[in-house]
Structure 1
Amino acid sequence: MILIDIPIYTYLAGCIVYNFVLSVAGRFTPRRQPAVQDPARYNRIAILVPAYKEDGVILSTATSYTGLNYPKSHYDVIVIADSLQPETLSALRETNTKVIPVVFDKSTKARSLNEAFRQLPDEYDIAVIADADNVVETDFLLKVNSAYLNGAQAIQTQRVAKNLDTPFAILDTANEIIGNHLYRKGANAIGLSSSVIGSGMAFHFPLIKTVMQEIQAIGGFDKVLQLRLIAHGQKIVYLEDALIFDEKVENSGDFSNQRRRWLSSQIVYLRKFWSEGWRQLFKGNVDYFNMAVCQNLMMPRMLLMASMILFTLIALVLPSSLVTIPFSWWAVLFALNCISLLLPIPAVFFRKYMLRALISLPKAMFIMVMLLFRMKGANKTFIHTRHTKTGINNPLLDAARK
C-alpha cells in the first residue's frame, strides 16, 4: 500500500473535511422562523405536481392541497398527468385540480414541467414544484410567500419523512436529515446556495419558466437546475421552517433503484460540468464551482462510511512498514466523519430510531458498493420509484416539536 494510500487518504479527507465544515456551520446557525401572519401581499402561486403512473397516491395528494392556509383564489394545484388512468383524471378534476395530460416517448420530470409551463398563462408569481407523493404542512404557502416577499426567488424548503415504518425508511430519513443540514442549511450558513432536491422547491414564476427551457435532463434534473439558477445570478435559499412530507423508501429494492439513479447522475454531471466549474471558479463564482465540482465530486455518505471503515481497519492490521498514512491519521479522519454525520441528528432519533437504522446500514453500504458496477445506462432511462403512502406517520417530527 506504500504511496497508494496517499491519494486515497487525500480524497477521503477532502470529502470529510467538506462535510465537517458544513455540519458545524449548520449546527451553530439558528433556525429561522419566517413570519406568516398578515403578509403585505398574497402572491399568485402555481403548485406543479408531475405525476408518472402515480394513480395510487395522486388523488390523496391533490386533495390535501385544498385545505392550505392560503386564499383559495390565489393558488392553483396543477397535476401534470403522465400515464394516469382515465378514472384518476376524472377524480382529480372533481377536486378542482387543474389537469394537464402529457404523453412522451421517454417520460421525464423536465419534459412534464416544460409542457406545463408552455400551457399555463403567465398570471402566477410563484411556482412550487412537488412530487406526486408530497404533502405540505398547512402554512407552507404562507411561509414560501413570506420568503418571496423578502426577496428570495429560488427556494428549497425542508423535505421531511412521511413514514418511519421500516429500518430502510428510518435510514433514508436519517440520510435526508443529514443532507438537509449539510448541503442546504450548512451551505447557506457559509454564504453558498442551498442545493435543491427535485421537490419542495419554489421559484419566481418567470425565472423558472425560462430556466426550465434550458433543461432536457433525463436523470438528475435538479443538479442541472441548480447550476442554471446560479448561472442566472440567483442564490438558492433554504427555507427550513416550511415542511414538505416525502415518502421514504421501505426496502432494499427501492433503495437500490433510487440510489443507482442518483449515483449515475452525479458521475454524469461531474464529467459534464467539470471544466465549466473550474472556469467559473477562476471568474470568482464559488457558488457555481461548489455545485458543479465539489458536490458532484463528493463520495456518497454511505460509500464514504464504508471506505473509512475499510481503510482504517487496513491501516490497523498492516505493519507500519507497508503503509504511508499511519493508523492514527485514519482514526482521526474516521472520527471527523462520524461527528459530521451525527451533529445533524436530533436527540430523539438516537433514543428511538438509531438502533433500527444501524440494523439496515451494513446492507445499505453493500448495495451502494455494488451499484458502482451497475451504472451503465442508468442516466439514459427514467427509473421510476413507486409510491403508496397517502398518510403521514412521523413520530420523530412530532416529538421534535414538543
Structure 2
Amino acid sequence: MKILEWTGWAIQLMVGYNLVFPVFLLLLYGLRKTAGPRHTCQATAGMPDYGIIVTAYEYTAQLPAVVASLLRLDYDRYHIYVVADKCDISNLNFQDDKVLLLRPDKVLGSNTRSHFYAIRRFVRPHTHLTIIDSDNLADPGYLNELNVYFNRGYEAVQGVREAKNLDTTYACLDAARDIYYHFYDGKVLFGAGSSATLAGSGMAFTTALYESVLGPLDVTGAGFDKVLQKGIVSRGYRIAFAEKAIIYDEKTTGSDQLVKQRARWLNTWFRYFGYGFKLFFKGIIRFDLNRTLFGLVLLRPPLFLFLLLSMFFMMANLLISPIVSLIWLAALMIFVMGFYISLKSSPTDPRIYQSLVNIPRFMFYQLTALMNVRRANRISVATRGENESTGD
C-alpha cells in the first residue's frame, strides 16, 4: 500500500509541476535579463543567402498568395522553391525568376522528403534555408529579422506564427494557444538560456546544420520538427527566438478540423516526448542549462491534458487530503496568472479575450481528438488540404 501511495504522490507531482513551470521560467528569464545579454555565438560574416522552401500536399489554392507575399520580402538574397507533392499544378504559373516550381514524379508524402527534394535542386548553394507552409503569408521584414540572430552566430532561428484569421471562436482559441506557446516556449525559454521550440514553419537554419541533422534520417508522418529540434539541441546548439520575424498562419476554423489536427499533434507528442528524458539527463550530467530546460519542456504533456488531470487531482484530494487540494487550487491559479501574463505581454486581439469563455468546449474537442490519436497519421495525409500545419 505504501508503494501505491508514493506512486500516486509522484504522479501528482509530475503533473503539477507543469502548472508552475512557466512562471519559474519567467522568473529565470527576468533574472537573466537583469544580468544583461549573454551571447556565446560567434558572429557570421556576410549576409545570408536563403533558399525558401514552400511545401504543399494535394492542396494548391493558396500557393499564389504565399508566393506573392514572399516576393514582397524586403531582402534580395533568396530563391523560392515550391514543392507541390501530389498536386495538380496546371493552374500554377509563377513568372518571377526567383521562383522554382517543383512537382515530384513520385509521391513523397513527407515534409522532410519535400525539403530535401528542394535542397537537391537549389539553383545555387544557399547558406541558409527557411521553411514555409502552403497557407502562410510572410511579413516583408521576415528575413531581415531572422538575420539579426544569424548575424550573431546562431544557426537555428524560430520566428512567430501570428493568426491571419480570427473569424471563428476556434480560430481565436487556437491563436490564444499559440500566443501562450510563443511567449513561454519561445521568448521566455530562449531568454532563460535554453532554446525556442520549433513550430513546423516560420523557422530557419543554416543549410549545413539542417542537412547534418535530418540528412541521415527519413522522418515520416507529423512531427519532423520534434526530431529536428532534438537533434539541434542535443548537438549543443541553441535555437534562437525572433519575435519580430513574423509569418501569418491559418488557424483552425471548425470543430472537425480541430479534432483531426489535435489528434495528429497528440500522436506526435506520444511518439517523441521520450526525447525529453535524454536531453534532460544529458543536460544534468553536463551542467548544460540549454539541454536541461529544453528536456523538461519536451516532457510536458499537451496543455489541455495536464489541465484536466490537475482539476481531477484537485477534486480527488478533497476526499483524501483537503490541504493538498488547496495546493492544487493555488497551482492552478498560478497557471491562470501565467496564461494571462502571456496574453498581456503580446499584441492580443480583443476577440481572443472574448473567446476564452469557450475554453471548456475547446477542451472537449481535444478530448475527442485523444480518442482518435491512434489513427492520427492516416488523418494527417487525408487533411493536409485543410490548411493545417504538420509540424506542431
Alignment TM class, shorter chain as reference: 0.7 to 0.9
Query: Which of 201, 221, 226 matches 2:224?
Result: 221
Deviation at 1:335, TM superposition (A): 0.9
TM-score by length of 2: 0.85
Aligned position for 2:330: 332
Aligned position for 2:241: 238
Native 8 Å contact 2:85 2:104 kept in 1 = yes
Query: Which of 1, 7, 12 matches 1:9?
Result: 12
- Give the 3 Å change call, closer, same or farther, for CA 350–380 of structure 1 in structure 2: closer
Aligned position for 1:308: 310
Native 8 Å contact 1:107 1:382 kept in 2 = no
Deviation at 1:308, TM superposition (A): 2.7
> How well do the aligned residues superpose, as a CA RMSD in angstroms?
2.9
Query: Which of 74, 78, 90 matches 1:75?
Result: 78
Alignment length, in residue pairs?
373
**Secondary structure at the residue paired with 2:212?**
helix
Query: Which of 59, 64, 67 matches 1:59?
Result: 64
C-alpha separation between the residues in 2 aligned to 1:92 and 1:212? 29
**Secondary structure at the residue paired with 1:120?**
coil
C-alpha separation between the residues in 1 aligned to 2:68 and 2:135? 12
C-alpha separation between the residues in 2 aligned to 1:342 and 1:205? 38
Deviation at 1:86, TM superposition (A): 2.8
**Per-residue CA shift, 1:270-297, capped at 9, x if unaligned?**
2466456534542444433544x42232
- Give the 3 Å change call, closer, same or farther, for CA 276–24 of structure 1 in structure 2: closer
Residue 212 (structure 1) aligned with residue 214 (structure 2): yes
Aligned position for 1:190: 192
Deviation at 1:220, TM superposition (A): 0.5
- Greater relative CO, 1 or 2 (CA 8 Å, sep 6+): 1
**Secondary structure at the residue paired with 1:46?**
strand
- Give the 3 Å change call, closer, same or farther, for CA 333–5 of structure 1 in structure 2: farther
Give the partner amino acid of 1:255. L
Unaligned runs of 5+ in 1: 33-38, 390-402
Give the partner amino acid of 1:225. L
Native 8 Å contact 2:57 2:385 kept in 1 = no
- Give the 3 Å change call, closer, same or farther, for CA 43–105 of structure 1 in structure 2: closer
**Secondary structure at the residue paired with 1:81?**
strand
**Per-residue CA shift, 1:97-136, capped at 9, x if unaligned?**
2112125555010111121112225521221111111111
C-alpha separation between the residues in 2 aligned to 1:19 and 1:104? 44
Correspondences of 1:2-401 after superposition (within 5 Å): 3=5, 5-25=8-28, 41-71=46-76, 74-89=77-92, 91-93=93-95, 96-105=98-107, 107-218=109-220, 219-271=222-274, 274-275=277-278, 278-279=281-282, 281-291=284-294, 293-316=295-318, 318=319, 322-323=320-321, 326-346=324-344, 349=348, 351-359=350-358, 361-379=359-377, 382-383=380-381, 384-387=383-386
Native 8 Å contact 1:196 1:223 kept in 2 = yes
- Give the 3 Å change call, closer, same or farther, for CA 350–59 of structure 1 in structure 2: closer
The sequence identity of aligned pairs, in percent, is: 24
Unaligned runs of 5+ in 2: 38-43
Give the partner amino acid of 1:341. F
TM-score by length of 1: 0.83
C-alpha separation between the residues in 1 aligned to 2:371 and 2:292? 28
C-alpha separation between the residues in 2 aligned to 1:52 and 1:143? 28
C-alpha separation between the residues in 2 aligned to 1:367 and 1:307? 16
C-alpha separation between the residues in 2 aligned to 1:179 and 1:228? 21
Deviation at 1:222, TM superposition (A): 0.4
Aligned position for 2:41: none
Deviation at 1:233, TM superposition (A): 3.0
**Per-residue CA shift, 1:142-187, capped at 9, x if unaligned?**
2222322221211101111111110000000000000011111111
Give the partner amino acid of 2:242. L
**Secondary structure at the residue paired with 2:374?**
coil
C-alpha separation between the residues in 1 aligned to 2:129 and 2:328? 47
C-alpha separation between the residues in 2 aligned to 1:193 and 1:273? 13
Deviation at 1:20, TM superposition (A): 2.1
